[in-house]
């Protein structure tokens, strides 16, 4: 697994899932043979807004998969899957990553509690395809095993739902406290096209009549920023293998037209919270 992907290894999400840095331990420990192959799966429950910009929340099942095949890392983040085409050599301290991203966006496709937003109608599922690139350095501050990573992802809807693009730059730092405990923090932002803004945040005249919300037209641009934290504690074995307990929390703040849209300003909130807890198994 790449050092960039190994920044955060254990988590579960519906928009911001992070995976922990256990492979960084293996890279620096001569007692551990790193053959470039590993796999982790996490299952739990998440607490998420019912739609982007909602002030109503629901509990959902959450899952995450992380792995490495011959030095090529792959992981899921919410409903997106990433695969690193550049293999990482064992013991490498600086890692360059690049590869494809594919995912689905289920925003306002169902389970909308607010009657006004529900009156605007359900939307179609977006299928988003693109790529990501990043760089990561292991051995930064606290030990030979902590990791600082920068990454940017670009995806575009190919299913004619919002039909637009999303650009997501992010920075993540993670460090094992021991072979049994791990903590990580991260920050990211999202920039979206006009099609995304219009599809999810516009209120048309017809929609205004149906919902009672004021008509509104949103333009693309800087949509939101987010901060998150993750922790993991081994239950059996250690962070390199066995069963672990993980917990994730994040906060997102909508910006500009996305915050001013009546879907958010009147029927929801620009403050978006997410939490998840569960169990992960690594081998």
Where in the chain are the domains? 5-282
Q: Which residues contact 79 (CB under 8 A, 6 or more apart)?
A: 14, 103, 104, 105, 106
Give mean pLDDT, residues 265-282. 95
Residue 36 confidence class, pLDDT cut points 50, 70, 90 = low
150-154 contacts, C-beta under 8 A, 24 or more apart: 150/4, 151/4, 151/97, 153/82, 153/101, 154/130
d(CA 225, CA 263): 18
Q: What is the DSSP string of 31-62?
A: TS---S-EEEEEEEEEEEESSTT-S-EEEEEE
Percentage of residues in the chain having pLDDT higher than 70? 87
- Angle at the Cα of 19 (from 17 to 20), degrees rounded to 5? 145
pLDDT, tens digit (0-9, with 9 covering 90-100), for 230-240: 999 999 988 77
Residue that wins the pLDDT comparison between 265 and 40: 265
Q: Specify the CATH superfamily of domain 5-282.
A: monomeric porin ompg (2.40.160.40)
pLDDT, tens digit (0-9, with 9 covering 90-100), for 84-143: 999 987 777 888 999 999 999 999 998 899 999 999 999 999 999 999 999 999 998 887
Residue that wins the pLDDT comparison between 245 and 22: 245
């Amino acid at each position: 697994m790449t050092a960039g992907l190994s920044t955060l290894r254990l988590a579960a999400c519906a928009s911001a899932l992070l995976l922990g840095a256990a492979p960084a331990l293996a890279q620096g420990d001569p007692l551990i043979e790193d053959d470039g192959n590993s796999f982790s799966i996490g299952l739990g429950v998440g607490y998420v807004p019912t739609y982007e910009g909602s002030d109503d929340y629901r509990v959902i099942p959450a899952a995450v998969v992380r792995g490495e095949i011959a030095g090529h890392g792959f992981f899921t983040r919410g409903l997106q899957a990433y695969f690193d085409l550049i293999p990482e050599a064992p013991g490498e301290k600086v890692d360059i990553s690049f590869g494809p991203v594919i995912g689905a966006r289920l925003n306002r496709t169902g389970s909308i509690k607010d009657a006004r937003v529900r009156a605007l109608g359900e939307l179609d599922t977006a299928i988003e395809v693109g790529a990501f690139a990043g760089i990561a350095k292991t051995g930064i501050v606290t030990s030979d095993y902590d990791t600082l990573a920068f990454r940017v992802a670009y995806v575009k809807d190919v299913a004619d739902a919002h039909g637009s693009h999303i650009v997501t730059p992010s920075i993540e730092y993670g460090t094992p406290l021991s072979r049994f405990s791990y903590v990580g923090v991260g920050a990211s932002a999202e920039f979206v096209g006009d099609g995304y803004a219009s599809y999810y945040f516009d209120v048309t005249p017809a929609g205004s009549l149906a919902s009672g919300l004021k008509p509104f037209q949103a333009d693309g641009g800087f949509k939101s920023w987010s901060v998150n934290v993750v922790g993991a504690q081994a239950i059996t074995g250690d962070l390199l293998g066995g069963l672990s307990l993980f917990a994730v929390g994040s906060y997102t703040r909508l910006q500009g037209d996305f915050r001013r849209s009546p879907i958010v300003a009147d029927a929801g909130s620009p403050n978006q919270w997410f939490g998840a807890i569960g169990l992960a198994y690594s081998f």
